Amino acid sequence: MENRGLILYGNPTRSDVDFLMDTSSSTSTNSSTASDAQSAPPDVEQLFRFICDEYTRCVHEAGRVLPPEWTMPDLIRTMLGDEAIQRGFLTDAYYDVMLCGTRSWGCEELLNLLDLINYVF
């Protein structure tokens, strides 16, 4: 057996590790990670919309409200910067929020930005 190194960020479950380390040719339909990966939105606009929806859920679950002058897409563009709105970066953000939910780096940064906005106003 060969020695494999794998670094997982966030809070991966045992099923996440099993899915990633599975070397068999069959795929499991019971794995939520597999179904999430297979249902990943195919283009940048869909990725961005999905991330906006997930971050909206994060804000709601944290008991926060967006200021009326901000929309979630505008807030995310401000947080990430326009140059980050590209496929590679959005794909990473998508999987991060899928695996970590409200504990993802994007949700945490968004909540920090909301704190700053609410502190200033």
Residue 106 has pLDDT above 70, yes or no: yes
3-state secondary structure of 5: coil
Give the pLDDT confidence score for residue 60 in this predicted structure.
92
Quick check: is 80 in a domain? yes
Q: Is residue 18 part of a domain?
A: no
Q: Is position 70 within any domain? A: yes
Domain count, the chain: 1
Q: Which residue range is the domain that position 92 belongs to?
A: 40-120
pLDDT at 1 over 90: no
92 within a domain of the structure (yes/no): yes
Per the domain annotation, does 31 fall within a domain? no
Q: Residue 85: pLDDT band by 50, 70, 90 thresholds?
A: confident
pLDDT of residue 55: 92
The residues, any chain, with a CB within 8 Å of residue 89's CB and separated by 6 or more, are: 80
The whole-model pTM stands at 0.60
Q: Which of 99, 98, 51 is nearest to 75 (CA)?
A: 51
